[in-house]
Structure 1
């Protein structure tokens, strides 16, 4: 390495006492750095192959690829040795085992829009590659109640991340060349990625112990989590609204057809009272079956701002059960009760005047 040990410690915020206590050889690190700088070139084709395969999935919004920088590799090796030596005095990373001990030499991030899309991406990854170990799903403490917290199973390990990261982590093995390579794939939403990038930029490497900064970033973390939930809620609202509008249109077409029949009968002056009542009852039954589309209680909770829904509609409009009574002239809905009141056609009223 061109950089000196002292410069490296300052640049990456390495504690010299911890380094010395772990009995790490700087010369061994220099040897790894030199060897990896050449080996790194062979990782690029594998990284590109994995990324291109992941980009074929329709729910993969963005795929980002990186091959670990040599200096970042040395930083990670130092930190891992210091951490592992606290419980295992014989732990070592050297030129012979660093490729297996450091499993994210190839790193891929797959970003998706909605939280539930992770399940589809999970199936896709499992169909394409062998997993070196079970997928780990990281979540923030507080995302679930104690009753809702997931238990590990044959497919997933569930772990609370102390910094609040939310992500699905895979280690896969593949042979894009004759060499077997291990790559780490992280799957997360765009909101989760945005928070993690801000957190990493503001806290690392020099502010990992800054309590006030950490607290503020955890607030941002909760906001990002809420944004994910709200995005899913809005998508569900849109899908449900579309279905309801299609159903309502079918019913409205039936009502329009009945209204045409009523107009014809009334114009002919030959309608018996029983027939009129039957038609009136049928039309009212159809109109009352048209579903008013408005947010569910859960969606209202996400969208409520100062007692108003975000588009400015008072939530009290949705408080009472049954059909929503509205100004008919404003929204163009035919008022059947007024139309059939007295079994009189509007055109006949004009004649009587």
Structure 2
């Protein structure tokens, strides 16, 4: 289908994963809906690594990632304050297992558009009924409807024939697994943050966390979608390091005052764009650097959760995102000074 169809298809998924999800959390106040964030974090591994790995590298590592994702989803249900229904967990696991390289950012056909659109429209109608207090809809049903588009589109979309390339040398395999592990770390960070937020008593604080976290995720997804369509992104210029520092300052300042709102969401959206752009453009030459950056962010969230358990949800996000912005700015400057030409 045309590029317009691709954009429309991706817009449906963005609408479902951000606006409908955030609205559902605000309307119901249900903590169990946070399972959808865990599901999206697990599912994003496939889409993100599809950009950075060749077909052969992707096929060799994807099932390990799927098994890890299923284990993490199960752990969320057993060890946190999130308790989704068994059917929602089953749908989430099925979607993770069924998804493939082209399911989220490939070339949609009419069947996949219907598969995505039907449950999304249904979710929108039911959420509006809940918000307007015109009807009481079970939040478990909303959760399952939020997950359903990803399962249906994975089943309905056709996989393209993979490229047949010779097996890579040992150095290439090490590079691929470094990128795979570096993508697992943000997922682990997401699960740590969700664990903290799952015990938050303020429903408004939970809803604000969802909005900011989704802004970061959508910013990153936009860059990954662009890279999937174009095949690559341009290398980051050294001057972009200033952009990282500006966004870092904005996020730090708003988090310290516990400020939320549309402009703050835009700052988080920009941070997601910058970090994803940097990960793709620099990862080809500095995979270990990306691994170290993501590892530092995970370490920061773990330390914050143990030392300061009463952090506000948006402050938790700032603890996660600010070290990444600072270190990524340094890596951009380092790459620029060394005349790097990342793919």
TM-score by length of 1: 0.27
More helix by share: 2
More strand by share: 1
Q: Give TM-score scaled by structure 2 length.
A: 0.27
Higher-Rg member (1/2): 1
